Amino acid sequence: EPEVTQTPSHQVTQMGQEVILRCVPISNHLYFYWYRQILGQKVEFLVSFYNNEISEKSEIFDDQFSVERPDGSNFTLKIRSTKLEDSAMYFCASSRDRRLAFFGQGTRLTVV
Amino acid sequence: KNEVEQSPQNLTAQEGEFITINCSYSVGISALHWLQQHPGGGIVSLFMLSSGKKKHGRLIATINIQEKHSSLHITASHPRDSAVYICAVENGGGADGLTFGKGTHLIIQP
């Protein structure tokens, strides 16, 4: 069964450093998403990406964040100058028709 | 902004029991998702509903659009059903801007 793959599963970084979270969406999917879940809190939408550009973003997704699809398979979330409050589980998801999204297993980001 | 409320927050039951998890939302939606989050954190989509009822194995999801309410039922519950069940609503924009509930932490004891 096709699946969304995220790497790494766990990333520890020092405050102020840049991190790149990687995702390989399902191959025939066209819509890509990043969500975030701070420990003990709700999952929150960050950004959606379609046709090589951002289609929607939440107020959380500020200039510190960027997304890219550098080649035909990867979809990345870059966080510049990480802060302690960026510590969370980050989920990538993809969808063929903008409806049912298939989620990855998540990357747990710990900023120390 | 849509407010999504789930109940109960925590539920412990014995193996074999019939489980009901509820979700209510404040503003009309285009679709509602039920998701399962495993102890390791991974999320699996269970159902997407815009009306009526769907069944998959021992899981049944219903939605009442007029009452802005959905339920997830598990029949003949099993310890492997132990997980966090999350309700999420689409506010007309597809999976963009899904609004999530806090989740219901379900434990099924053998």
Q: Which residues contact A91 (CB under 8 A, 6 or more apart)?
A: A6, A34, A35, A36, A37, A43, A103, A104, A106, B43
Residues of A with CB below 8 A from B23's CB?
A: none
**Three-class DSSP labels, chain B:** CCCEEEECCEEEEECCCCEEEEEEECCCCCEEEEEEECCCCCEEEEEEECCEEEEECCEEEEEECCCCEEEEEECCCCHHHCEEEEEEEECCCCCCCCEECCCEEEEEEC
Chain mean pLDDT for chain A:
92
CA of B62, closest CA in chain A: separation in Å? 17
Residues B57, B58, B64, B68, CA torsion sign = negative
Q: To the nearest whole percent, how much of chain B has pLDDT over 70?
A: 95
* Residue A59 CA: distances (Å) to CA of A44, A55, A56, A87, B87: 10, 14, 10, 17, 21
Tokens read off for B96: 């963009």
Q: What is the CA radius of gyration of chain A?
A: 13
Is the peptide bond preceding residue B79 cis, with omega within 30 degrees of 0?
A: no
How sure is the predictor about B95, in pLDDT bands with cuts at 50, 70 and 90? low
**Interface check A95 vs B, CB under 8 A:** yes
Confidence of residue A104 (pLDDT cuts 50, 70, 90): very high
Instruction: Judge: A106–B43 Cβ closer than 8 Å, yes or no.
Output: yes
Indicate whether B42 pLDDT > 90. no
Contact B96 A108 (CB under 8 A): no
* pLDDT tens-digit series, residues B48-72: 999 999 999 999 999 999 999 999 9
Structure tokens at A102: 């298939």
Residue B20 to chain A, least CA–CA distance (Å): 20
Longest CA–CA span in chain B (Å) reads 41
Instruction: Indicate if the pLDDT at residue B93 is higher than 90.
Output: no
Gap from A84 CA to chain B (nearest CA, Å):
20
Name the residue in chain A with its Cα closest to that of B4: A42
What residues 35-54 of chain A have any CB closer than 8 A to a CB of chain B?
35, 37, 41-45, 48
